[in-house]
């Protein structure tokens, strides 16, 4: 199977070479961050947890009164089609639905035609050496908005809050940081969910604390049960992070990565922990054996 010479981007039903792919400057996704997205993985020619990602996408769209111009089945097949046409066995998919072109005002009713984009490419957030040695974290001054201000269940295009936190990370020379909510509880990284291990039990913040209920997060909780690891969804403080036996982050792009220190405090032994490695191994075993096959003929015409 040959790889495409240039990535092909799905835009509103057409595949366009990446160098020529574009959206209108009047698109409200560009002007106001008015839109939603999903990041999805392909492992060994299978799209991982596609149905769960699509369900979350359509939930986000409903919350924003954003009408996706494809049925879930049609969009599922569009994803498979785009992956297949790019010839990738392992890939990262960015599925974007914006409000579409309108005028310079805020009114979403002036945007009659949403923009649908599917990007298929490769991604690596961190070098492999960091997965082996573990990452250092720090807490930052940026706070996640409360759920009464901006509900994280809507995976919107507006990531300014995370961008500001990432700027702090860059200024400190760190790959990732921890963001707190208005109550001083640890909620997330800039794009990752947080897990701790203490006394053999897995802990992660609950959804009501202001986190995105990540697809990888849910997979890890399910795998923990399969592996016989107890887990609890409870509010977490920085003290809990400092005194944990282990810490790791999860996300579609980040997958599972261990943490060895936070704010200068060594976590556990200062090395990637045994439970973290167990979960990471279980995740990859599962991810490479599950998912919707891409390279089959039972597809719909888009």
Residues labelled catalytic = 155
Backbone angles phi, psi at 142, to 5 degrees: -65, 135
Gap between the Cα atoms of 111 and 104, Å rounded? 10
Cα-Cα-Cα-Cα dihedral sign, residues 76, 78, 79, 81: positive
Gap between the Cα atoms of 62 and 40, Å rounded? 20
Residues 60 and 22 sit within 8 Å (Cβ to Cβ): no
Torsion of CA 232, 234, 238, 241, to 10 degrees: 0
Gap between the Cα atoms of 73 and 177, Å rounded? 37
Gap between the Cα atoms of 253 and 8, Å rounded? 20
The DSSP 8-state label assigned to residue 109 in this structure reads G
Strand partners, 132: none
């Amino acid at each position: 199977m040959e790889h495409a010479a240039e990535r092909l981007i799905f835009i509103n039903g057409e595949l366009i070479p990446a160098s020529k792919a574009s959206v209108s400057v009047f698109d409200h996704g560009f002007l106001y961050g008015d839109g939603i997205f999903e990041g999805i993985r392909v492992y060994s020619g299978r799209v991982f947890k596609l149905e769960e990602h699509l369900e979350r996408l359509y939930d986000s769209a409903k919350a924003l009164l954003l009408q996706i111009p494809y049925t879930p089945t049609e969009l599922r097949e569009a994803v498979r089609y785009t992956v297949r046409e790019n010839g990738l066995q392992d890939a990262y998919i960015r599925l974007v639905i914006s409000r579409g072109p309108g005028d310079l005002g805020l009114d979403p009713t002036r945007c009659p035609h949403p923009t649908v984009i599917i990007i298929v490419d490769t991604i690596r957030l961190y070098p492999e050496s960091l997965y082996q040695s573990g990452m250092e974290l720090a807490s930052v001054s940026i706070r996640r908005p409360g759920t009464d201000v901006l509900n994280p269940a809507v995976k919107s295009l507006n990531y300014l809050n995370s961008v500001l936190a990432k700027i702090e990370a860059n200024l400190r020379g760190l790959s990732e940081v921890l963001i707190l909510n208005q109550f001083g509880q640890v909620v997330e990284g800039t794009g990752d969910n947080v897990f701790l291990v203490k006394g053999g039990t897995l802990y992660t913040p609950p959804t009501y604390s202001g986190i995105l209920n990540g697809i990888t997060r849910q997979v890890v909780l399910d795998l923990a049960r399969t592996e016989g690891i107890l887990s609890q969804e409870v509010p977490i403080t920085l003290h809990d992070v400092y005194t944990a036996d282990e810490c790791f982050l999860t996300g579609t792009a980040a997958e599972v990565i261990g943490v060895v220190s936070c704010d200068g405090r060594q976590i556990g032994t200062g090395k990637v922990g045994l439970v973290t490695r167990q979960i990471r191994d279980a995740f990859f075993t599962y991810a490479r054996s599950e998912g919707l096959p891409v390279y089959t003929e039972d597809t719909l015409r888009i």
